[in-house]
Amino acid sequence: MLTQTFYIKMENKESIEQALDKMNINIIKKQKVSPLQSVSIFTSGIVLLIVNSMMNFDSQSIFPPMLILLSFALTLWGLLSFIFRKKIYVNNMDNQKLVAKEALFDVKEREKLVRIMATQNYPELKNLIISNHDGLKLRYFATKDASLCFSQVIAYVPYEFVRITDVQTHAGDDAQNLIKSLKL
C-alpha cells in the first residue's frame, strides 16, 4: 500500500514541457516551427501532379506512375508536417531556442543522482555510472550558450516512466556548471 501511494505521488509531478507552458510569456515563449517548409513540400507535390498531367509520356513508360506516386507522397508529407508542426520553446531574454537533451545513467545510481540535483553539486555527475539504456535519465532543456536550463530526473518503473523530481530551473553560472558537468 505504501508503494502505491508513493508512485501516485510521483506521477503527479509535472513534466518540463508542462512547467514551460505555465511560465510567464516574458521569460519563455512557446512557438511552432515555421510552416514554410511544409507548405513548399505540399506545393511541390501539387506541381508534380500538374506537370505529370501536362506531359505526353509513352504509354509503356514508368514515369507517369512514378510521378503520380511521388506527387501524392510529397502532398501527404507536406500536409502532415503542416498539421503536426513541432513546438519549440524560446528564451525571451536573448531569443535563444531551448533544446531538449537527456543524460542516461545506471538505475542503481538513482539516489545519488537525486541527491546531486538537490544539493546542486554537479561535478559529482562525472562519478556516476553512464548507461546505454534509459532506465534512469536526467532530462534537460538548455539554451545553446547554457545561460538557462530546466532539468528533471526521470526513472523507468515497469511499464512507464515516472518523474522523480520536480522541474528545477538553473540560470547563469548554475546552468553552465550543470551543462559542463553533463558533457561526460
3-state DSSP of 11-48: HCCCCHHHHHHHCCCCCEEEEECCCHHHHHHHHHHHHH
- How far from 168 is each of 17, 56, 114, 119, CA to CA, in Å? 12, 63, 12, 12
Residues 119 and 40 in one domain: no
- The closest of 123, 113, 96 to 151, measured between CA atoms, is 113
Instruction: Give the domain extent around 48.
Output: 36-85
Query: Is residue 81 a part of any domain in this protein?
Result: yes
What pLDDT shows up at residue 8?
45
Cell matching residue 28: 519563455
Grouping H, G, I as helix, E, B as strand and the rest as coil, residue 128 is: coil
Residues 54 and 8 in one domain: no
Query: Is residue 69 a part of any domain in this protein?
Result: yes
What pLDDT shows up at residue 47?
94
State mean pLDDT over 151-166: 90
Residues 16 and 106 in one domain: yes
pLDDT over 70 at 5, yes or no: no
Query: Is residue 104 a part of any domain in this protein?
Result: yes
Residues 102 and 149 in one domain: yes
What pLDDT shows up at residue 137?
92
Query: Is residue 91 a part of any domain in this protein?
Result: no
What pLDDT shows up at residue 127?
87
pLDDT over 60 at 1, yes or no: no
pLDDT over 60 at 173, yes or no: yes
- Name the band, by pLDDT with cuts 50, 70 and 90, for residue 146: confident
State mean pLDDT over 86-99: 87
Residues 115 and 148 in one domain: yes
Task: Give percent of the chain above pLDDT 90.
Answer: 32
Residues 128 and 70 in one domain: no
Residues 50 and 22 in one domain: no
Grouping H, G, I as helix, E, B as strand and the rest as coil, residue 165 is: coil
Residues ≥6 apart with Cβ < 8 Å to 50: none
Residues 24 and 45 in one domain: no
State mean pLDDT over 3-29: 72
pLDDT over 90 at 31, yes or no: no
Domains identified in the chain, total number: 2
pLDDT over 90 at 57, yes or no: no
Residues 19 and 52 in one domain: no
What pLDDT shows up at residue 39?
94
pLDDT over 80 at 69, yes or no: yes
Residues 59 and 125 in one domain: no
